[in-house]
Amino acid sequence: MRSRTVVAFGLRQNVRLRGDALVIVAIILVSVSGLAALVGFEFIGAEVSAVSPDRDLLENYLGLVLYVTGFISVGIYTNVFAFISMSREKSCGSIQALLATPLKPVHIWVGKSLSVLIPGVVLGAVMTLAALAVVNELFLVPHVGFLVNAWMIVTSLFAVPLIFLALTLMTHLVGLSGKPATANVIAQLFLPVTLMVMMNLVFHGVLSASSPWFLLVNLSIAATIGLVPLGLRSRLTAERIVLSQ
């Protein structure tokens, strides 16, 4: 219940940053559109032009588009807003004011994390479903019909948010108990490195982005990251937060 109070407060603070949000959404749109167009024209378009298009291969490419769309959308939004909110609230004393209330550091930690994650997950879901509709309409429906399977949807709409839930909890723990800049470096390195590794696994045929194994790998990533904040949770004390400001 107390974390809900911090979530509501954080969401109101984020609304005030709508100018920043518009810039972030514009960056996400450009990034997602470019990658979707690349995969669409270079891989999906080439495959549907074949005499006998490979449906499994098309699902693999489509799953990759949805995964990349969700990963970039949730990742960029949560990473940027986590850094902005922690930096501004530490500099203006909002965190210290919250510590003067009956709220415990863990309530502030979880509440702040969820306040940047929730809008990111909503944006990611909207962008992912839009990518599903657009790619099918432009490339697939005229040739093989509407393609989708449960694994690609669960991976993009469930596993990806879990990854960034774990990452956001970790970066907020680091940012609250230490420097927001350090947390920002962790988040900014994680996004491109993980995305490139997963894309290479798909393009080299190691994993299919529309398979249960791809989902399992992403759930494993989320679980591994989640162990870090659980293990370091004892470091999050009111004294450490205050001294880090």
State the Cα–Cα distance between residues 10 and 24, nearest whole angstrom.
18
Range of the domain at 150: 2-243
- 55-105 pLDDT, tens digit per residue, is 899 999 999 999 999 999 999 999 888 877 777 777 776 777 777 777 788
8 A C-beta contact, residue 191 and residue 79: yes
pLDDT at 1 over 60: no
Total domains present in the chain: 1
pTM more than 0.75: yes
Q: How confident is the model at residue 193 (pLDDT cuts 50, 70, 90)?
A: very high
State the pLDDT at residue 223: 96
8 A C-beta contact, residue 61 and residue 131: no
| DSSP H or E stretch at residue 133 | helix 105-135
- 112-154 pLDDT, tens digit per residue, is 889 889 999 999 999 999 999 999 998 888 888 899 999 999 9
Q: What is the DSSP letter of 53?
A: -
State the Cα–Cα distance between residues 186 and 6, nearest whole angstrom.
24
- 146-179 pLDDT, tens digit per residue, is 999 999 999 999 999 999 999 999 998 888 888 8
